[in-house]
Amino acid sequence: MALGNDNELRELIRKVALLNAVQHCGKAQVGPIVGKLLGEVPDLRSKAKELTALVNNILSEVNGLSFEEQKDTVEQKWPETQKKEKSEEAEKKLLPLPNASKYPQIVTRFSPNPDCVLHLGSARAIILSHEYAQAYNGKFILRFEDTDPKVKRPSLIFYDKIRKDLNWLGCKVDEEYIQSDRLPIYYEYAERLLRDGNAYVCTCIPEEFKNKTIKSIPCPCRNLSPSEHLERWRQMLSGGYAEGQAVMRVKTDLCHPNPAVRDWPALRIIDTAKFPHPRVGSKYRVWPLYNMAAGLDDHLLGVTHIIRGKEHLTNGVRQEFMYKHLGWEYPTAIHYGRLKITGAFLSKSKIIQGINDGIYSGFDDPRLATFAAIRKRGITAAAVKKMIIDVGSKPADVTLSWENLFSYNRKILDSITDRYFFVSEPFRLAVKAIPRVFNAKLLLHPDNAQRGYRQTLVNPIGKDGVCSFWVTKKDAELAEVGVMVRLMELFNIKITSKAEKRLEASFASESYQDARGAKARLIQWIVTEDSLPCKVVMPDASTVEGVAESACKRLKPDDVVQFERFGFVRIDEAAPNLTTYYAHK
Ligand SMILES: [Zn+2]
């Protein structure tokens, strides 16, 4: 049987070719593919020539797909291959986890409060936790910490938006938990702590409690019997106390050098008739505070490594007292430094306020540093990931700029995006004396002819051989009469006159050498009949109006392309209302 008729073999070649393409920015090479196939199926060695021909055949199809299509196919058909690659990548980059050998399986978690969308400020916690779990073949948990229905009130829309952001970042969640589903569990441990005399229900006025603990003096509640506290606890649950009248505290060391650690509050009453929880309404009135819920869950969900900002150091100290009471061992905690991004605006409350006040168009407003906003601008998840992994988990503070992120993104986009001409603030240019019809074939990518080309006809009319182009206002303003300019990839012209809104020129020559000799400016152009209106939304939310070459009709939402001499943009709406978002230069 001819190899070409063997469907199983064809499918295997397709797989190997696609994996190779995805590893090499969309361009698969025949040599390594044949090598891999011969390694996997030794019987093929006698038919190497026929195999190479078949591989070439399938390769042209695979290389004809866009990088995105290639990645999608691989992710859908062979997701296990992607998982392995990612973990290999991570292991190379991340420092080894401390105590890794102590645990049978590494378990990490990301635990957001669904009171806002995620932004770059969360990137470190998410990506490091996920990458470490992947690198060690472990488990990555998403835990919604939604136990404050009053002040940091969760909202239903954010649970899904957060899931979507993680998905976009490529951080696959192995298990998901929602703390508002787990209140009976927290109650059970609260009772255990009370019964064992390791916690108490404090009914003191907060100010008086504070004045005493600062002097290391126990409040009057602390030394009452466990049965008295269990009774108070039942009162808390049944409504015997109003909001603010009682709080359960975990016993610590009243002489602890940090007064903020001393007998920290673990559960409090919230009037859920007034402040119903978006998921469970008024079902519960006693809600755990952060250290109680997070502390219990880390143990109960088997978290082995907590990767979090160093602002949580004191919380770790608080929780260790509870762990001791329960006879548990505290997980390994890694505290990384603060990651600041200059110019990025990372306050959740200000983001929400700005949206409510109509200052921002939504969570994806280009001025914001939310994942939704950077995604809309064509910043890739891979760039965010690479940047965070390079920064790592060191405790020192790190300040990055948008430009750092752009440079990671540019490296990723440069080889995989198609090029098109876009002319902002179009200015009319009439070129005379064009000697013939030019059928301009412009490469979609200057270094990769395989990506194909776009075509435009420069068809001079009349005895003067005139053709009309759009050029940018800026290029028009810089043009000087008598000076040579090169229309990129087309021909050279000499400016003959310059007037308000109109520039005239005559054909000079074709060769690029002439342009180099004359140090001519290279400018992008669009034949006026071959253009379509195009808007670009800029990072400051302003809009640049212009025209794009008509080949841009083929672009679909979410495509990212480079507008030459302008920048990378993501297509938000396809033609005829072509609208794009600006990523960066
Ligand atoms: Zn008290």
pLDDT per residue as tens digits for the range 23-73: 776 778 888 898 888 888 888 888 888 899 999 989 888 988 888 888 888
Residue 1 DSSP symbol: -
pLDDT of residue 340: 87
| Mean pLDDT for the stretch of residues 292-319 | 97
pLDDT at 188 exceeding the cut of 50: yes
Q: Give residues with Cβ within 8 angstroms of 207, minimum separation 6.
A: none
Please state the separation of Cα 403 from the chain's center in Å.
16
Residue 84 has pLDDT above 60, yes or no: no
Q: How far is the CA of 221 from the centre of ligand 1 (A)?
A: 4
Single-letter amino acid code for the residue at 291: N
Report how far residue 103's alpha carbon sits from residue 137's, in angstroms, rounded to the nearest whole number.
12
475 vs 554: CA distance, rounded Å:
27
State which H helix or E strand residue 453 sits in.
Answer: strand 453-458
- Both structure tokens of 221: 């509640």
Q: What pLDDT does residue 25 have?
A: 65
**Calpha distance 14→451 (Å, rounded):** 19
Task: Dump pLDDT digits (tens) for 344-378.
Answer: 878 899 999 999 999 999 999 999 999 999 999 99
- Of the two residues 24 and 556, the one the predictor is more confident about is 556
Mean pLDDT computed over every residue of the chain = 94
Is 7 a residue whose pLDDT tops 90?
A: no
Query: Whole-angstrom Cα distance, residue 517 to residue 584?
Result: 31
Burial class of 97 by CB neighbour count within 10 A (0 to 12, 13 to 18, 19+): buried
Measured between alpha carbons, how far is residue 334 from residues 108, 324, 443 in Å? 11, 20, 49
Interval between CA 197 and ligand 1 midpoint (Å): 14
Alpha carbons 471 and 527: distance in angstroms, whole number? 9
Question: How is 196-222 classified by DSSP, letter by letter?
Answer: TTSEEEE-S-HHHHHHHHHTTPPPTTT
Q: Which residues are within 8 A (CB) of 574 and not within 5 positions of it... i.e. 6 or more apart?
A: 553, 555, 556, 557
Q: Is the pLDDT of residue 3 over 80?
A: no
pLDDT confidence of residue 83: 62
Q: What is the whole-number distance in angstroms between the Cα of residue 239 and the centre of ligand 1?
A: 18
Which stretches does DSSP call E strand in 125-269?
139-144, 175-178, 199-202, 247-250, 265-269
- What are the tokens at 175? 């298990």
Rounded distance from Cα 113 to ligand 1 centre (Å): 29
How many angstroms separate the alpha carbon of residue 16 from the centre of ligand 1? 68
338 by Cβ neighbours in 10 Å (0-12 / 13-18 / 19+) ranks as middle
How far from each other are the two terminal CA atoms of the chain, in whole angstroms? 54
How many whole angstroms from 249 Cα to the centroid of ligand 1? 9
Q: How confident is the model at residue 91 (pLDDT cuts 50, 70, 90)?
A: very low
Q: How far is the CA of 212 from the centre of ligand 1 (A)?
A: 10
Q: How far is the CA of 210 from the centre of ligand 1 (A)?
A: 10
Phi-psi region of 362 (alpha: psi -120 to 50; beta: other; left: phi over 0): left
The per-residue pLDDT for range 445-484, each reduced to its tens digit, is 999 999 999 999 999 999 999 999 999 999 999 999 999 9
- CA angle 442-446-447, nearest 5°? 140
Distance 193 CA to ligand 1 centre (A): 16
For CA atoms 33, 35, 41, 44, the dihedral sign is positive
**Ligand 1 centroid from CA 209, angstroms:** 6
CB atoms within 10 A of CB 158: 21
- The predicted model gives 1-15 an average pLDDT of 83
Give me ligand 1 centre to Cα 325, in Å.
Answer: 20
Q: Which amino acid is at 74?
A: V
Q: How far is the CA of 405 from the centre of ligand 1 (A)?
A: 50
- Among 412, 418, 344, which residue's Cα sits nearest to residue 384? 412
Tens-digit pLDDT profile for residues 224-277: 999 999 999 999 999 999 999 999 999 999 999 999 999 999 999 999 999 999
Q: Which of 318, 189, 186 is nearest to 253 (CA)?
A: 318
> How far is the C-alpha of 543 from the C-alpha of 538, rounded, in Å?
6
Q: What are phi and psi of 520, to 5 degrees?
A: -70, 145
- Alpha helices, H only, 24-107: 30-40, 48-63, 67-77, 79-93
Task: State how far the Cα of 308 lies from the Cα of 335, in Å rounded to an integer.
Answer: 5
pLDDT for 1: 61
pLDDT at 212 over 80: yes
Cβ atoms within 10 A of the Cβ of 255, count?
A: 8
Phi (first) and psi of residue 493, to 5 degrees? -130, 160
The rounded Å distance from CA 281 to ligand 1 centre is 29
Q: Helices 313-326 and 183-195 meet at what angle, rounded to 10?
A: 70
- Residues 574/557, Cβ–Cβ less than 8 Å: yes
Comparing 67 with 399, the larger pLDDT belongs to 399
> In the structure, how many helices (H) and strands (E) does the chain have?
18, 27
Q: Binning pLDDT at 50, 70 and 90, where does residue 86 land?
A: low
- Contact by Cβ (8 Å): 544, 424: yes
Q: What is the pLDDT of residue 85?
A: 53
CB 195 within 8 A of CB 202: no
d(CA 72, CA 12): 17
Contacts with 117 (C-beta within 8 Å, 6 or more apart), sequence order: 158, 161, 162, 165, 351, 363, 370, 371, 372
Distance between CA 571 and CA 511 in Å, rounded? Answer: 34
Contact call for residues 16 and 28 (beta carbons, < 8 A): no
CA of 192 to the centre of ligand 1 (A): 19
Other C-beta atoms closer than 10 Å to the C-beta of 486 total 23
Q: Cα of 145 to ligand 1 centre, how many Å?
A: 27
CA of 189 to the centre of ligand 1 (A): 20
The rounded Å distance from CA 267 to ligand 1 centre is 14
How far, in Å, from the CA of 222 to the mean position of ligand 1? 6
